[in-house]
Structure 1
Amino acid sequence: MASKEHPAHIVRFASNTQLEPEPLHVATNKDGVLEAHVGMLRNHHTYRIEIPRTHTFGPQITAHHPQPNIYVRVSDVSSTQTEADGSFSNVITCHVKTIKEGNIAETITISSDSDESKCEEILVTATVLLTNQGNPMLKTGVHMLSHEHSEETDFTEWPGHGKEDQDDD
């Protein structure tokens, strides 16, 4: 019961509210770099991300890594669709494997198969949460593929803290 000093607060929950995930897209960031921000991901998971890209590179493109990537690997480029304005669109599929918490920032390059001078780099970024920080809502185009269990345990070799001390009881 609320007192005069502390009035009661009424909280109402909408039962039919559905949250819509934000779509994954490529945009120019504040530094002028093309960026696909994947959002928040969980540690020790593998994700498939689908990056939509509209371009003027022609009907055949290739996506690759300009340098070895640790987290982001290109796995497929969809068939090219021709848009009404004469541009082309593809979906670049990548696998992202999270192996530590923090920020991921790795680059993929898209280039024309017919004209080597036509290319662009896309910075793929994500924030990786610790395993105990909850389940983030994934953006449209981001799909969890697998979850690896951490190899870390509470076992230590220090006397009084190890499994062998529990066996003596």
Structure 2
Amino acid sequence: MSGENSDSATCSETTLTVNGKPHTLLVDHRRVLLDVLREDLDLWGARKGCDHGQCGACTVLVDGRRVNSCLLLAVALDGSEVRTVEGLGGDGGELHPLQQAFLDRDAFQCGYCTPGQLCSALGMLDEAAAGHPSRVTGDTRHGGPEPGRPVQLDRDEIRERLSGNLCRCGAYPRIVDAVEDVIR
């Protein structure tokens, strides 16, 4: 249980399933998911970049949707499933195809944004497969894809969908290359 220096009036027991493992924590109502992951569960992959939801370094998947974990109050996620970059690979230590593609394409430099980029890319692939359009997908009423049908991912579509994740090193072309390798 966490919650040092907190009284029970400002804390709630919260259960999160993180990377397939349930965790029940006593969480201060003011704490965000990012801090709980890093400080209480020792999952350091999600990074604290801007702490304002603008850079994407803290991106994780909550119930299959990509989110900025620096903005979400952990107590509001009671019962949710959280997947971090640490949970992308298999049980035997093998890499997720996106992780392998990032390595193969040298799609990172300093690596600070890479965990958020990977989680965002995985969420983006699931969103496109489910038929969720982006700004560049095209109008479904005027020749674009049918609603609910998978969206074809080209370089413009990938760039648009990953635009919420910033890379100060400028590895964007290689990140797009890596995602393209996975969807081929």
Task: Bin the TM-score by the shorter chain.
Answer: under 0.3
Structure with greater helix percent:
2
TM-score normalised over the length of structure 2: 0.21
Higher relative contact order (CA 8 A, sep 6+): 1
Higher-Rg structure is: 1
